């Protein structure tokens, strides 16, 4: 892998990424009722919610840097441009 700067550039997952992917896929594959039960339990866990909100805020900060984000979101919600 000469010249490759990171495992990600080489298309190789880290252990954390692989575990995350496994749990994400497992959650998505659950029947709706079971998935809702898991999500409800996560929503009741204050530590988890704090981490989730932090991740959402971080992601939204990246999205708002995209100047087309707000007009695109408005169009998607209303069906018309700004």
Question: Mean pLDDT of residues grouped by 10 in the chain (82 residues)?
Answer: 63 88 96 96 96 91 65 66 56
Q: Look up tokens 């998505």; give the residue.
A: 28
Q: Phi, psi at residue 30, to the nearest 5°?
A: -65, 150
């Amino acid at each position: 892998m000469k010249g490759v700067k990171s495992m990600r550039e080489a298309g190789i997952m880290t252990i954390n990424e692989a575990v995350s992917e496994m749990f994400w896929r497992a959650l998505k594959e659950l029947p709706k009722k079971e998935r809702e039960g898991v999500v409800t339990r996560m929503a009741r866990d204050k530590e988890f919610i704090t981490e989730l909100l932090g991740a959402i805020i971080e992601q939204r900060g990246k999205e708002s840097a995209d100047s087309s984000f707000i007009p695109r979101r408005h169009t998607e919600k209303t069906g018309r441009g700004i």
